[in-house]
Amino acid sequence: MHLAHYLGLLHKAQLNLADAFRQVADAHQEEPDIHHLCRQQAQRCEEHAERLRPFARRYAQDAPDEPDRLHSELFRGTRTGGIGLLRDLQDLYLMVCECDICWTVVGQAARGVRDQDLIQVVERCEGETAIQLTWLRSRMKQAAPQALVVAD
């Protein structure tokens, strides 16, 4: 059973995302909403990772060796300025997308093994992940015209 690998992938992706949210929060302190909400969402990602841990343990013993090229590297540091903010938010967006699809995959597996506890965790966390996507999209839509058309 390979579920443990995907739980590990998601766990790592959530922690990477938490770290990226924190870096973006710190790099854009002069955008108070970005600063505050990114820190808030970093915490949320860590909570997600924490909720996954017991399931990673539960399924670890049944897992064969981890396959190659499981983890991806989506974030390579922050940028500055109006367009830099847009690009940083876009990086976050892609990282949240990765988590989002992982939740879907893990949710399907949870149904396959009839794990009611895991299904509950997935339902809660995938909803919160969807909000992260919606928020990033809203904020980028707001910022794009000024950054791309107006700013010098």
Partner 1 sequence: MVDRIANPWGERTPYGAGESWPAREDEFLGGDLSPADVDAWVQSASVLHSDGDAMDIAVKDGRIAGVRGRAVDRINHGRLDPKDMYGWQANNSPDRLTRPLVRENGLLVPSDWDTAMGRIVERSKQLRDGPGGWGHFGFYTSGQLFLEEYYALAVIGKAGLGTPHMDGNTRLCTATAASALKATFGTDGQPGSYTDVDHCDAIALWGHNVAETQTVLWMRMLDRRRGPNPPAMLAVDPRTTPVAREADLHLAVRAGTNLALMNGLLRQIIRNGWYDEQYVRAHTIGFDELCATVDGYPPDRVADICDVKAADVERAAELLGTSQRLLSTVLQGFYQSNQATAAACQVNNLHLLRGMLGVPGAGIYQMNGQPTAQNTRETGADGDLSGLRNWGNPHHIQQLAGLWNVDPLTIPHWSPPTHAMQIWRYAEQGSIKLLWITATNPAVTLPDLARIRRILAQEGLFVVVQDLFLTETAQFADVVLPGATWGEKLGTLTNADRTVHISEKAVDPPGKARADLDIFLDYARRMNFQDRDGRPLIPWTGPEEVFEAWKKCSAGRPCDYTGITYDKLRRGSGIQWPCTDAAPDGTERLYTDGRFNTDPEYCETYGQDLTTGAEFTADEYRAKEPGGRAFLHAADYQPSPEVPDGDYPLLLTTGRTVYQFHTRTKTGRAPQLNDAAPDVWVELNPADAGELGIAEGDLVSVTSPRGTLQAPARIGGVRTGVVFVPFHYGYFDVDPADRVPRAANELTITAWDPVSKQPIFKVAAVRVAKVPQGRK
**Calpha distance 139→90 (Å, rounded):** 10
Contact status: 84 vs partner 1 (CB under 8 A): no
Report the residue number, 72 or 146, with the smaller CB distance to partner 1.
146
CB 104 → partner 1: shortest distance, Å? Answer: 18
Residue count at the site for partner 1 (CB under 8 A)?
A: 23
Q: Between residue 35 and residue 54, which ones bind partner 1 under the rule CB under 8 A?
A: 36-37, 40-41
Name the segment binding partner 1 (CB under 8 A); options: 6-14, 63-71, 89-97, 133-141: 133-141
Distance CA 35, CA 28 (A): 6
* 131: contact with partner 1 by CB under 8 A: yes
Which is closer to partner 1, CB of 61 or CB of 116?
116
